[in-house]
Amino acid sequence: MNKRKKIRISIAIGLLLIIGIVGGNLYMTKQTHNQRVAEMANNLRYERFETEIVKELKEKYPDIKAIRFEGTSKNDKTGSYWSTFYIIADWTTGQPESEYYSDFTGYSSLEDIRTNGYGMSLPELMYKYEETEKTEKTVTPVLVTNSTGKKKEV
């Protein structure tokens, strides 16, 4: 091979490498951006879901001071949500505030929650509020810490 042909081949290989590296970098940047957008959409969806849980709990139980969500997720195969949270409330005599653990599973949408109510595992102290005929509710704002770490009053 002559010298010019070797130089042309070297330049072509160099250009292909540069195009491959730049194109791969652009592709990875786009994928990362798409992942971040999907995560933000999930976080917003989970925050709405958690806010709906808080609103329903406020309607059903008295004296709730705060609710802290540990995690919320959606099973994409079954379409159902699950959530783990702690309720801080004045339900124990002699103690100003106590923390109660609960979890929530098996609903596929916010509308499903509104129409069917809840199926949660509740602490025994909360059962006395479910059994009473009168419906007591929390009228003061509840401090909510979402699973994303965002705090707000509902």
Q: Is residue 97 part of a domain?
A: yes
> Quick check: 64 and 141 in contact, CB under 8 A?
no
d(CA 126, CA 67): 14
Domain count, the chain: 1
Domain of residue 135: give its range: 47-153
Helix (H) or strand (E) holding 151: strand 151-153
147 versus 120: the higher-pLDDT residue is 147
> Quick check: 65 and 35 in contact, CB under 8 A?
no
Q: Is residue 122 part of a domain?
A: yes
Tokens of 33: 């951006």
Q: Is residue 63 part of a domain?
A: yes
d(CA 9, CA 15): 10
Summarize pLDDT for 67-104 with one digit per residue, the tens.
888 877 777 777 777 777 888 877 665 556 666 667 66
Q: Is residue 25 part of a domain?
A: no
Q: Is residue 147 part of a domain?
A: yes
Q: Is residue 26 part of a domain?
A: no
Q: Is residue 40 part of a domain?
A: no
72-76, 137-141, 143-147: the lowest-pLDDT one: 72-76
User: Model-level pTM?
Assistant: 0.61
